[in-house]
Amino acid sequence: MMTVLTHTQASQKVDELRKKLNKWADDYYAKDAPVVEDAVYDKTYQELVELEQQFPDLVTADSITQRVGGEIKSDLSKVEHPVPMLSMGDVFSKEELKEFDDRITKLVGHPVAYNVELKIDGLSLSLEYTDGKLTRASTRGNGRVGEDVTANAKFIKDIPQTLPEPLTTEVRGECYMEKETFAKLNAERDEKGEQVFANPRNAAAGSLRQLDARITKKRNLSTFIYTWVNPPRNITSQHQAIDEMNRLGFHTNQSGQRFESMDEVFKFIDEYTAKRNDLSYGIDGIVLKVDDLSLQNDLGNTVKVPRWEIAYKFPPEEQETVVREIEWTVGRTGVVTPTAVMDPVQLAGTIVSRASLHNPDYLREKGVRIGDTVKLHKAGDIIPEISSVVLSKRPKDSKPYEIPNVCPSCGETLVHLQDEVALRCINPMCPAQVEEGIIHFASRGAMNIMGLGPRIVKQLIDKGFVNDVADLYHLTSEQLGQLDHFKDKSITNLLSSIENSKRNSAELLLYGLGIDHVGAKAARLILEKYKNLEKVSQLTVPELTSIDTIGETIAESLTAYFNQPSAQKLLQELRDSGLNMEYLGTVEEEAPDNFFKEKTVVLTGKLSDFTRSEFTKKLQDLGAKVTGSISKKTDYLIYGADAGSKKDKAEKLQVPMLTEKEAIAKIEK
């Protein structure tokens, strides 16, 4: 039974809700760092809407229900939109969707056709063209004023810089980040101890709104364009508009369909509710737009939303499970990361039993304890994440979780460096860091030692054959013969790959050393200028920062590393082992011819001989492209035990399939 509020109580409640929503909107729009899930925000927002409808005199011009987007707080130049970029109204059930249709039918006087489109989980973007040339790109901002991101948009590959016709026009759409790109970006940020993005939308927003357009370029953003501000006169419907934009070279989503009945709309919703996890990009709902553009014009807009369109938002898919343990793992750079280990549950098409808790601050904010029942969802339909703790189910003997102060690998005291959210182990001989460091050293982007995966590295360390990367160059066939499942051909191939790596250009060696903040690009720029790694090891901070784009953080990290006697000793050992110290120019080494080279591969099910990440890396080292979703372009599905919907889809699409054992046999041929 709904509680009836007095006017005074309603006024107090409205103030409370507005403060809460304003704070959440600021985190979401201005900081690209939401603190609550979309479903929580939507529920609170709807509560405010209902109160304002019940008490119209409480509605104020500055209420969040009366404005679009958020206030602009970035340093980007501001852009005033000639035509406001409005938001969309939301509904959360098919019943509400039917009410929207009834309302449109009543206003128009007859049933209408809708163009039904996927609601992309991204950032609204306007593109303006003059005589066919891209002249300005801007974000929505508060609907009236956005941010100028023209320089950044020029680095988004699917945005045409020049149209095939000299049009002066404006189109709008969504800038987004694909799931695979999002997962990779977050993994990189987690490894560096940086704050991870909450979901692909915020990753896209944070990437597009950079002051340095080169960062945007590296983030690999995409767009879907779906709205024409002033369409040509021959365009009379929304579906025609999309077809014409597609013809002009804009990237449009071709999943949309035109329907004349709500039954067809509901079938479309059911279809994409089931399909959404298999898409390469995130969607959070379905959008209905009156297809007839003249009717759109007649229906007009409210102060905030068009009357002719509505967004149906998917309900959040959540499961409850119990946290049994919190594990702490040590990364290559010493960052110590907590992971919740939970009772396995089925979530968004996969079995989930682990979820990253990212860092101590995040763990404290969520308030997770061992034994807690938690609600679990997938951020951006990809990464398992704990939404909240179910406090009503917390055990009576529960105690707050204590953040460890010693490294779980070496036992040294952990440190919380200034301006970092991560805990770090700063012991350079920490076994976990040594292991991760060797894996990085051998990786494709560094020294490219094929066949030296995580399981082999672990065995080499456990048997005492390798204590640092220099030891790799003293391995013998007798030692490798003692490893599990390592046969003559594997031994020969690995020793050959280790020997070949000695001839790599020196920037690959510098990157392979795993120096904090010194990525592949920085290593190349430094060696391009100074040519010799031994000379680089003696450089000062001013000498390094004289290189364009090399800042103090990279310079200080590199000089601090080489100031250590242990680093100079390691460099000498590598030199004595015959490794090249000269810059030769970057030549991308192609994977040798093999069964999987240039093939698109998908992995599914439980693997027995490798972890998913190990097998992915092995395939990538062979030149394969490993993706997360099945399509007609997939060359092979490799599956383990309990393979589910991906295997079913592969059968329907007649995609060739291999068991894990069959795939390994192909690799070892």
Q: List active site positions.
A: 119
State the DSSP H helix or E strand holding residue 151, giving kind and residue range, or none if neither: helix 150-153
CA distance 450 to 497: 6
Residues 6+ apart with CB under 8 A from 313: 38, 42, 90, 91, 92, 119, 284, 285
348: left (phi over 0), alpha (psi -120 to 50) or beta: left
DSSP state of 171: E
CA distance 326 to 355: 10
The full DSSP string for 269-303 is HHHHHHHGGGSSS-EEEEEEEESBHHHHHHH-B-S
How far from chain centre, in Å, is Cα 17? 30
Using an 8 Å Cβ cutoff, are 187 and 252 in contact? Answer: no
CA distance 266 to 286: 10
The token duo for 451 is: 């066949």
Beta strands 657-659 and 636-639, pairing class: parallel
In this structure, the number of other CB atoms found within 10 A of the CB of residue 549 comes to 11
Burial of 476 (0-12, 13-18, 19+ CB in 10 A): exposed
CA distance 36 to 379: 11
DSSP state of 322: E
| 3-class DSSP assignment, residue 65 | helix
The token duo for 218 is: 């590296």
CA distance 359 to 357: 6
- In sequence order, the β-bridge partners of residue 340 are 326, 355
How far from chain centre, in Å, is Cα 637? 23
In this structure, the number of other CB atoms found within 10 A of the CB of residue 243 comes to 14
